Amino acid sequence: MNCLFCQIATGAIPTKLLYEDKDIIAFNDIAPKAPHHILIIPRKHIETVNDLENADTELAGKMLLVAKKIAAELGISDAGFRLLMNCNRQGGQVVYHIHLHLLGGRQMSASMG
C-alpha cells in the first residue's frame, strides 16, 4: 500500500512511537504546530471520516481515549489541549488515512479556520 501512515503502522517506515497497541499507534508530527503535536492513527486504513462505518465506532472512541492518556502522560491535561481531525482537501486533510491531532503545551488561539 502507498499510504504513508500504513507504512508507519506496519514498521516499514521506522518511527518513534509514543503509544502502540493492536489497534492504534501515536507518534510526533514531523511539522509540529505546538510544543506537543501528536498524531493518533488507527492501524486499519480508513481514508477519511466519511469512510468510517458503524463497525468502526469502538475504534474511533478508542482514538479519543488514547489522546486523553497521552495528554495525561505529557502533563497537559489540566492546562488544556486541542483535538483536531481534518476531512478531505477543503477540510485540510493531507494524508488520506484518518488521524487525530493532539496539540498542547501552549495557549491555543480561538481561530479554527
Q: Which residues are catalytic?
A: 99
Q: Give, as one character, the DSSP assignment of residue 107.
A: P
**Which set of grid coordinates corresponds to residue 55?**
463497525
For the chain, how far is it from start to end, CA to CA, in angstroms?
32
Q: Which residue has the cell 507504512?
A: 7
What three-state secondary structure class fits 4? helix
CA torsion sign for 52, 54, 59, 63 is: positive
In the chain, alpha helices (H): 4-10, 57-74
